[in-house]
Amino acid sequence: MSTSNPAAAVSTKRPCDPSHADPTPPAKLQRSSDPPDPAPAGNPDGATDGGEATGVDSEAMAGTRNPRAQRYLVAVEYVGTRFSGSQQQPNQRTVVGVLEEAFHKFIGQPVSIFCSSRTDAGVHALSNVCHVDVERISKRKPGEVLTPHEPGVVKRAVNHFLQRNEGDIMVTDVRCVAPDFHARYKALERTYHYRLLSGPESTSVFEKSSAWHISEDLDIQAMKKACSILVGHHDFSSFRAAGCQANSPMRTLDELTVTEVFPFMYFPSSIERSEMESSDGSLVYSRTPALESSGKESDGSCSSSGKSETENRKEFGSRLRHRCFVVTARARSFLYHQVRLMVGLLKSVGTGDLTTADVERILNAKTVTAAPPMAPACGLYLANVKYDLSV
């Protein structure tokens, strides 16, 4: 990457949004765990809303707009275990803090960033979305306002400064939006994924902070039945952690599914490589790494008596593969820790500790004390935040 200043751009470029000057006074935003009617967005899972000690945020500031600034919608991905959550906290490394620092270095002045979803420490993001107002001031003529940077310039410049930091967060997309567009309140839908690894083998060092390891086998069919009970419009008080500031526990869960997928760290065995090369190229997957097809045993091998067939067939130094499951939850909004509490319940159903009848009982109990312990943060990923950007 070039070491030249990435913030440089031709000032004669066409502005992103010719209507970025907004003469209307800003609308005052509610400071609440739910956005104003008629489109409540609620409190996303893994979020700490309102004026809690876990984060410093002023949503009301998002309504105070600089008429000379361009508002950008910015999508970011990050490794959640490297941050103390998304929102600003004193003396803590946070997603918003790192982003604001990178933007400050880019444009030479402080900015305020507002996220669509507030993630807890340890929760990852494949795509969290925020908005930021940027006023482009001439460095040669202080006080002179230039046309806004193109989105591609913003993306490259901010990533330049982010990669010079820890490299655990990256801007993946940038879009110019209207001055009153709010990343949180304009969100139509949020999707979360949760990764589960099942099997007796200990977790790889590469997976420890990216999934929840369950040593028992999981019954995926039982988990699917449990998902069908939770989908729909319900009182989710049993999946609402203490501290949730949402006005109502009523939520509509549009999707809750569990799917078995390839493990994240998947490398084909010698037999699988051969099969893939000789077939039509489709994926061939075996949970247990296969032996080399030489048919010979190691001269220095110990007796295999008392060992399982799987252990006898495993190459020295190789690992047994885990089964990998992904739970997907999709809704307009979630209660505080709702997704992780639902995953904790699905895990208990998958191991046989609970039945589908227990799922109905826990849902109807309308108290979080009825639910099993929630899943850890490391397996949760904010996957997508949906908007209508056509208007």
Q: How far apart are CA 231 and CA 228, in angstroms?
A: 5
Q: 90: helix, coil or strand?
A: coil
Report which of residues 339 and 27 the model is more confident about.
339
Report which of residues 295 and 72 the model is more confident about.
72
How sure is the predictor about 140, in pLDDT bands with cuts at 50, 70 and 90? confident
- What are the structure tokens assigned to 49, written together? 């809303």
How sure is the predictor about 285, in pLDDT bands with cuts at 50, 70 and 90? low
Q: Give pLDDT tens digits for 319-337.
A: 788 899 999 999 999 999 9
DSSP 82: G
Nearest Cα to 87, choosing from 118, 110, 46? 118
Q: How many CB atoms lie within 10 A of CB 176?
A: 18
Whole-structure pTM value? 0.78
Report which of residues 295 and 334 the model is more confident about.
334
Question: Does the pLDDT of residue 50 top 90, yes or no?
Answer: no
How sure is the predictor about 20, in pLDDT bands with cuts at 50, 70 and 90? very low
Q: How far is CA 153 from CA 99, 207, 275, in A?
A: 16, 34, 45
Beta strands 380-386 and 124-134, pairing class:
parallel
How many residues comprise the chain?
Answer: 391
What pLDDT is attached to residue 369?
97
Q: How many CB atoms lie within 10 A of CB 381?
A: 25
Question: What percent of the chain has a predicted confidence (pLDDT) above 70?
Answer: 71
CB-based contacts of 372: which residues, under 8 Å, 6+ apart?
Answer: 344, 345, 347, 348, 353, 354
Write the DSSP string, 146-157: PPPPPHHHHHHH
What pLDDT is attached to residue 167?
87
What pLDDT is attached to residue 144?
84
Return the active site residues.
120
How sure is the predictor about 25, in pLDDT bands with cuts at 50, 70 and 90? very low
How sure is the predictor about 99, in pLDDT bands with cuts at 50, 70 and 90? very high
What pLDDT is attached to residue 53?
30
Range of weakest confidence among 107-111, 219-223, 313-317, 352-356: 313-317
Q: 350: helix, coil or strand?
A: helix
What pLDDT is attached to residue 55?
38
Please state at what angle helix 338-350 crosses helix 220-230, rounded to 10 degrees. Answer: 140
